Structure 1
Amino acid sequence: MKPLCLFPLPLLLLAAGCKKEPKTEVEKLPRATQEGKNTAGFLLDGRAWLPSASDLTASGPVGARREGRSLTVYMVRNGSSSERVTVNLFLPEIFIAGAFLLNRTPNISLGYRPAHGLFSQYAAFPNGYYFTGPDAVGELVVTRFDTVARVVSGTFEMRVREPNTGQTRQLTQGRFDARF
């Protein structure tokens, strides 16, 4: 009778050792954490987008920069030697966690940098720079902003528009957890 009782044990061990494959695009994204793990991801037009490291990103594929009262959260994915995609979320002033509307168009050449989002694709040709603005709105929700531990975490959603062609991209279910 004992051998029959031990029969299910190998099956249970085998099932426990199998890694569950993600079934949906959202399941491919990293968990939303608030620990400064330098993780990020979002759905780009419904498909999972994750940053990746390369020799070109010495500071890492996910991070944040704090300069004075402003904050930039960045995500980078490098493809082949000539392909690179970046996402930047910029707040000109941040003191505490909260929700921030990304609905103004930056004019960097004039030094005008309101809260905005940027999605850029660098390739051999053509490069594409997509911005949030009045006709391509986004929202950034900072759930943790800790200047002592130097951690910023949150979620975002935004529609971005390429100003010359009018082409848009949709970034949804975004999340980030970074050190600055």
Structure 2
Amino acid sequence: MKKLLLVLTITLTLNCCNNDDDQPTNPIDQLPPATQTGENTFGCLLDGEAFIPSGGTNPLDCVYQFVNGEYYFGLQGNKRDQDNHLITISLSTNALEINESNYILRNNEFGNAYAGYLYATLPSFTSLNYGGELTITKLDTENYIVSGTFWFNIEDQNGTVHEIREGRFDMHYSG
């Protein structure tokens, strides 16, 4: 009887073990931590689901350049959905020097910060009606590191409004 009880206890214990225990189920817990050391990470919630760049060519890219007397910042994360459609989330400035500060994400005009969302081949950008905020928490021009947080709303080409929340990045950028 003791052996049967021992075997039953071991069997129940082993059945309770699950390799999925290490995988977070809350989408926000799936995002990379907010760091400021140039970890080359990017993530956000796209309509409540974790969006983390992956796969394909160039899933993550960041530049901050001085061109024709103006500064331009560009950061984008790419991944493919279950139907193999490309999804891109981007943050940019148009002739706007960045520093450790907050920026309102508006339309893509000279002197503004803005964001983009691309699904398949249909790009959409923040506007006066749908915008958000970009916060640069670290800009290290000696080590080419830029870190920050962001959120925005954006209307796609089909009229659907997408909510991008809890965005964070910690990137080495090219100049």
CA distance in 2, matches of 1:131, 1:168: 11
Question: RMSD of aligned C-alpha atoms?
Answer: 2.4
CA distance in 2, matches of 1:81, 1:20: 27
Identify the match of residue 65 of structure 1 among 63, 66, 82.
63
Correspondence for 1:118: 116
CA distance in 2, matches of 1:19, 1:96: 40
Matched residue type, 1:35 = T
Correspondence for 1:161: 155
Identity of aligned residues (%): 26
Do 1:62 and 1:178's aligned partners in 2 also have CA atoms closer than 8 Å?
no
Where does the alignment leave 5 or more consecutive residues of structure 1 unmatched? 1-10
**What TM-score comes out, normalization by structure 2 length?**
0.77
Distance 1:63 1:130, change over 3 A: same
**What TM-score comes out, normalization by structure 1 length?**
0.75
Matched residue type, 2:168 = R
Deviation at 1:168, TM superposition (A): 1.0
Identify the match of residue 134 of structure 1 among 125, 128, 131.
128
Where does the alignment leave 5 or more consecutive residues of structure 2 unmatched? 1-12
Correspondence for 1:22: 24
The superposition leaves residues 73-108 of structure 1 with CA deviations (integer Å, 9 ceiling, x where unpaired) of 1111134795211111012322421100012x226x
Correspondence for 1:147: 141
Misfit runs of 4+, over 6 Å? none
Do 1:130 and 1:168's aligned partners in 2 also have CA atoms closer than 8 Å?
no
Matched residue type, 1:137 = G
The structure with the largest strand share of the pair is: 2
